[in-house]
Amino acid sequence: MTITLTLKNSVGLLKGSFNRALARLGYRLVRADTLDRLIAERAQPAAPAAKPETAPPTAGDVPKPPDGRFKLLPSANQAPASCTALAPKFDPLKTPSQLGDNIVAFQQDGITVISTSAEKAATWRETERFDRDVGNRHSAWDWAGNSAESYTDDLQAGLPSPALVEDLHALFSGGDFEAFFRGVLGCRAKVGNVRLVRSRPHLTDGVGPQEWHRDGCPAGVIRGVLYLCDVDGQTGPFQYKDEAGRENTVLGKTGDLLIFDATRLLHRGSGPSHKTRSAIDLVFMPRMPDEEMKIMVVGMNHWPADPFFYKMPKERLPDHGSVPSHDERRIARLY
Amino acid sequence: MDTQVETVLPVYIVGDSHSLPYHNLVFRERWTGAWVMARTKYIPGLTAHDFFNPATGEFHPEFIGFLEYEGLVRAGRATHLSMDEVDFAIAKAAAQSVLPPLILIAVGEIDVRGPIMRILKDTHDFVPPFPTTLPLLDKSLVPWDVIEEAIEERLGPFIAGLQQLIAAGFKRVYVQSVVPPTRKEERIRELQAYDCPVTVRTKLVQAFNWKMAAKCRSINLTMLDNWSDLTDGGLLRPEFDFDGVHLPPRGARVYLEALIDDAIDSRGLVANHPRYELYYRAACGLDPFQVTAPGAV
């Protein structure tokens, strides 16, 4: 026992002396298993605070928390396949309505035509002013809409007069239309935009709304076109493709109101070949139960980006400067 | 609800030190007269290469931290597309339109000046595959594919990160091109401890931007390229040479105006479909947060 203790003390003293000698030369003696443990510990992620401030963390070398909190999860922002998905299946026997057949037609085909006053429509055609191009003078960051510059000379646009807005308010506030929108949307509706559009005869290919397209309307948003003139095959009638891909043409009389799901149906306002087509372009959107009927006039915009909060876009007056052309913009391209 | 109080249009700018000239920048844009305000985050040393780690699917922690701080991300999700009741309550309290945010990312200069420029130093030049007015010096040539490979290696993770951002719902993201380098040779010597002639390093930045622009286009993003505004005779205009590395704030504004000019006509991306879903359900008298199968109403 004494011999063993003496030997251990001697080895200890020898180690101590050796370590002190190494320390004077700037070294330390470390046991092999201790060294392995230290290496293993260094291989573990270090706490961020241990990193020198001069070496900013990067995605590659910063410790990754187990919950992967530096990841972003996928999120979609896509128009629905149909904009009226919440409307219950309409039964005209259960819920008699003046426009019951139109509700059934809309639910079946995604489009219906409702006759309105031909006299009023003819008057609007003569009294309303189609005095501007289709450039967006109401550009606003919280509204989806057309480009600021006009994209064609074949289309003229206009803002509805206060009298027309009042007439439309009366029309769509009526019991028939209240019931109609409840039937096709599942809720009441307001008018998200109303504008006048006149299409001049032309033989060139149509652009913008005269090309086949879907509008990408958000949920609950549907479109309307109220003809202000008789529309035959030469006046650029509305066309759509049904679910089987068949092309359908909607001829109409002055005062006919087409209401359609512009996202469900591939559609276009075909280019008039010989006669001018005048119409009122409408956007219908859901109305909250406690909300009054209203008609918004927002030029060449489509719908608010966020239906809960938006500002009414202001019109940019011509004397405050015209729309800068593409050449005047600051996007200079080198390559 | 019609909001009446005037607010600014925020542009979220994040990146290396080239995000600094945007700091506190504010101006009225010429399209709608709205106030544009730069909300910036400087991430020291951020490179294109380290922006995103494709192996783990994680972004640079400070980038995510910035998005979280600005309320653009919560629990790993884009808040503007959230149909979560908490995010809805937050948006309601803010009482402002919930829009896809405009984001500008400034990275790449460190990638060019560091690992790529080292290939050339003052001993080599290269011939890029695009037209340039910059001369070819009487030096040994490095093949384009070597330069291209070095650029690809730095850009790869960045582009992967941008794709991930798009998938997360951030589609209004812009990339700032790398700014033309200083004409001052002594500044480069000071920064890099070696020489690289101004025409060679400027051409290298052009090459990097050329590749980055093509890659951004391929994923439907826009790289803001104001090279012709900032250069004269192919080199940085002296009035934009602020400190030998960065643009002055008025140079940053050139980029920001280019972003606004592009964004004003890209408002097809602005509609917030999840918010419409909630609105439509509420209008129909349903619980907006209780999802029901279509037709089950």
Which of A74, A306, A321 minimises the CB distance to B99? A306
Which of B64, B261, B280 minimises the CB distance to A330? B261
pLDDT in tens, chain B (297 residues): 555 678 899 999 999 999 999 999 999 999 999 999 999 999 999 999 999 999 999 999 999 999 999 999 999 999 999 999 999 999 999 999 999 999 999 999 999 999 999 999 999 999 999 999 999 999 999 999 999 999 999 999 999 999 999 999 999 999 999 999 999 999 999 988 899 999 999 999 999 999 999 999 999 999 999 999 999 999 999 999 989 899 999 999 999 999 999 999 876 779 999 999 999 999 999 999 987 555 443
Which listed CATH number (3.10.105.10, 3.40.630.40, 3.30.450.20, 3.40.50.1110) goes with B9-283? 3.40.50.1110
* Shortest Cα–Cα distance, B139 to chain A (Å): 25
Closest chain B residue to A62, measured at CA = B61
Q: How many CA atoms lie within 13 A of B10 on its CB side?
A: 18
User: Phi and psi at residue B99, in whole multiples of 5°?
Assistant: -115, 155
A59–B53: do the CB atoms touch at under 8 Å?
yes
CA distance A167 to B54: 59
Q: With CA atoms as reference, report the closest residue to A283 among A207, A226, A198, A206.
A: A226
A148–B73: do the CB atoms touch at under 8 Å?
no
A71–B46: do the CB atoms touch at under 8 Å?
no
Q: pLDDT value at position A80?
A: 94
A330–B226: do the CB atoms touch at under 8 Å?
yes
Q: Is A51 on the interface with B (CB under 8 A)?
A: no
Closest chain B residue to A84, measured at CA = B280
* Shortest Cα–Cα distance, B281 to chain A (Å): 7
In a mutagenesis test of the A interface, which of B134, B153, B284 is the best target, namely the one with the most A β-carbons within 10 Å?
A: B284
Residues in chain A where the model's pLDDT stays below 50: 1-2, 5, 12, 26-31, 33-66, 319-322, 326-335
* Ramachandran region, residue A94 (left: φ > 0; alpha: ψ -120 to 50; beta: rest): alpha
- Structure-block tokens of residue B225: 């390229």
Q: pLDDT value at position A315?
A: 87
Q: pLDDT value at position A146?
A: 85
B59–A73: do the CB atoms touch at under 8 Å?
no
* Shortest Cα–Cα distance, B196 to chain A (Å): 23
pTM above 0.95, yes or no: no
Q: Are strands B58-59 and B52-53 parallel, antiparallel or unpaired?
A: antiparallel
CA distance B253 to A328: 16
In a mutagenesis test of the B interface, which of A53, A69, A86 is the best target, namely the one with the most B β-carbons within 10 Å?
A: A86
Q: How many CB atoms lie within 10 A of CB B239?
A: 11
For chain A, where are the E strands, in sequence order? 111-115, 143-145, 155-158, 189-199, 222-227, 238-241, 247-250, 256-260, 266-269, 277-286, 301-304
Q: How many CB atoms lie within 10 A of CB B156?
A: 15
A171 contacts: CB under 8 Å, gap ≥ 6 = A116, A177
B295–A139: do the CB atoms touch at under 8 Å?
no
Q: Quickly tell me which residue has 């790993």 as its tokens.
A: B76
Q: Quickly tell me which residue has 């706490």 as its tokens.
A: A47
B50–A60: do the CB atoms touch at under 8 Å?
yes
A45 contacts: CB under 8 Å, gap ≥ 6 = A63, A64
A316–B297: do the CB atoms touch at under 8 Å?
no
- Structure-block tokens of residue A301: 């915009």
Q: Which of residues 76-105 of A touch B (CB under 8 A)?
A: 76-80, 85-89
B258–A331: do the CB atoms touch at under 8 Å?
yes
Q: Are strands B102-106 and B9-15 parallel, antiparallel or unpaired?
A: parallel
Cβ contacts of B178 on chain A, cutoff 8 Å? none
B297–A329: do the CB atoms touch at under 8 Å?
no
Q: pLDDT value at position B265?
A: 83
- Structure-block tokens of residue A48: 């961020």
Secondary structure (3-state) at B140: strand
Between the alpha carbon of residue B143 and those of residues A81, A132, B126, B148, B215, the distances in Å are 51, 56, 6, 9, 21
CA distance B268 to B275: 15
* Shortest Cα–Cα distance, A296 to chain B (Å): 11
Strand partners, B58: B53
For chain B, where are the E strands, in sequence order? 9-15, 26-28, 35-42, 52-53, 58-59, 73-74, 77-78, 102-106, 124-125, 140-141, 173-176, 222-224, 231-232, 235-236
Q: With CA atoms as reference, report the closest residue to B201 among B179, B216, B232, B223.
A: B179
Please tell me what DSSP assigns to residue A87.
S
Cβ contacts of B41 on chain A, cutoff 8 Å? none
Q: pLDDT value at position A7?
A: 54
CA distance A79 to A31: 67
Cβ contacts of A321 on chain B, cutoff 8 Å? 30
CA distance B107 to A54: 19
Q: pLDDT value at position A59?
A: 41
Whether the Cβ atoms of residue A48 and residue B40 lie closer than 8 Å to each other: no
Which of A59, A75, A314 minimises the CB distance to B52? A59
Q: Where are the domains of chain A?
A: 100-308
Q: Quickly tell me which residue has 């003046």 as its tokens.
A: A98
B52–A316: do the CB atoms touch at under 8 Å?
no
Cβ contacts of B251 on chain A, cutoff 8 Å? none
Whether the Cβ atoms of residue B179 and residue B166 lie closer than 8 Å to each other: no
CA distance A27 to B247: 50
Closest chain B residue to A218, measured at CA = B273
CA distance A321 to B26: 21
**Residue B185 belongs to what H/E stretch?**
helix B185-192
Cβ contacts of B284 on chain A, cutoff 8 Å? 86, 185-187, 286
Q: Where are the domains of chain B?
A: 9-283
Whether the Cβ atoms of residue A245 and residue A266 lie closer than 8 Å to each other: no
Whether the Cβ atoms of residue B120 and residue B142 lie closer than 8 Å to each other: yes
CB-defined contacts A:B, below 8 A: 243
- Structure-block tokens of residue A239: 């066309």
Which of A286, A288, A329 minimises the CB distance to B261? A329
* Shortest Cα–Cα distance, B269 to chain A (Å): 8
Q: Which of residues 251-280 of A touch B (CB under 8 A)?
A: none
Q: pLDDT value at position A207?
A: 66
CA distance B1 to A316: 23
User: Phi and psi at residue B52, in whole multiples of 5°?
Assistant: -150, 145
Q: What is the dihedral of CA A58, A59, A64, A65, to 10 degrees?
A: 100
User: Phi and psi at residue A224, in whole multiples of 5°?
Assistant: -140, 150
Q: Are strands A143-145 and A301-304 parallel, antiparallel or unpaired?
A: antiparallel
A77–B167: do the CB atoms touch at under 8 Å?
no
Q: Is A66 on the interface with B (CB under 8 A)?
A: no
Cβ contacts of B278 on chain A, cutoff 8 Å? 308
Q: Is A208 on the interface with B (CB under 8 A)?
A: no
Which of A141, A286, A330 minimises the CB distance to B280? A286
CA distance A79 to B95: 24
* Shortest Cα–Cα distance, B235 to chain A (Å): 13
B58–A64: do the CB atoms touch at under 8 Å?
yes
CATH architecture of A100-308: Sandwich (2.60)
CA A135 to chain centroid: 20
Closest chain B residue to A287, measured at CA = B283
Cβ contacts of A261 on chain B, cutoff 8 Å? none
